[in-house]
Amino acid sequence: EVQLLGSGGGLVQPGGSLRLSCAASGFTFSSYAMSWVRQAPGKGLEWVSGISGSGDSTYYADSVKGRFTISRDNSKNTLYLQMNSLRVEDTAVYYCAKALHSGTFYPFDYWGQGTLVTVSS
């Protein structure tokens, strides 16, 4: 059974940093691209960043480029999102999501339970 367990969210001041983690199990982690998708309170879904199975290719939404860094440790079956220079508008539930097919980035067939990031002074 595929499981994605996100963690690392919390309350942080504007300008601060936070690192999210997503522990994966139930599939060959290194074979699949992974993404982070966020959802601001009461709002819709927004893709944030994606990384290939090997970790060689990474992509970012313009809204986070230069501030967020996606990475993965395939030996630990874990996905990360390092978030720096956080802004109030980054407040959201952050979901990790698995690509449907090996070798592609989208769509997403499994989602983590989400971890809440609150940016506020």
Partner 1 sequence: EIVLTQSPDFQSVTPKEKVTITCRASQSIGSSLHWYQQKPDQSPKFLIKYASQSISGVPSRFSGSGSGTDFTLTINSLEAEDAAAYYCHQSSSFPVSFGQGTRLEIK
Per CB under 8 A, does 112 bind partner 1? yes
Distances (CA, A) of 113 to 4, 55, 61, 62, 94: 7, 23, 21, 25, 9
Tokens of 83: 């978030």
The enclosing H or E element of 65 equals none
Using CB under 8 A, pick the residue from 13, 19, 109, 120 that binds partner 1: 109
Using CB under 8 A, pick the residue from 7, 59, 71, 87 that binds partner 1: 59
Residue 16 neighbours by CB under 8 Å, 6+ apart:
86, 119
The answer to whether 9 touches 20, Cβ cutoff 8 Å, is yes
Stretch near partner 1 under the rule CB under 8 A, chosen from 19-27, 42-50, 66-74, 81-89? 42-50
Nearer to partner 1 (CB atom), residue 64 or residue 86: 64
Nearer to partner 1 (CB atom), residue 14 or residue 107: 107
- Residues at the contact surface with partner 1, assessed by CB under 8 A: 44-47, 59, 61-62, 95, 100, 105-114
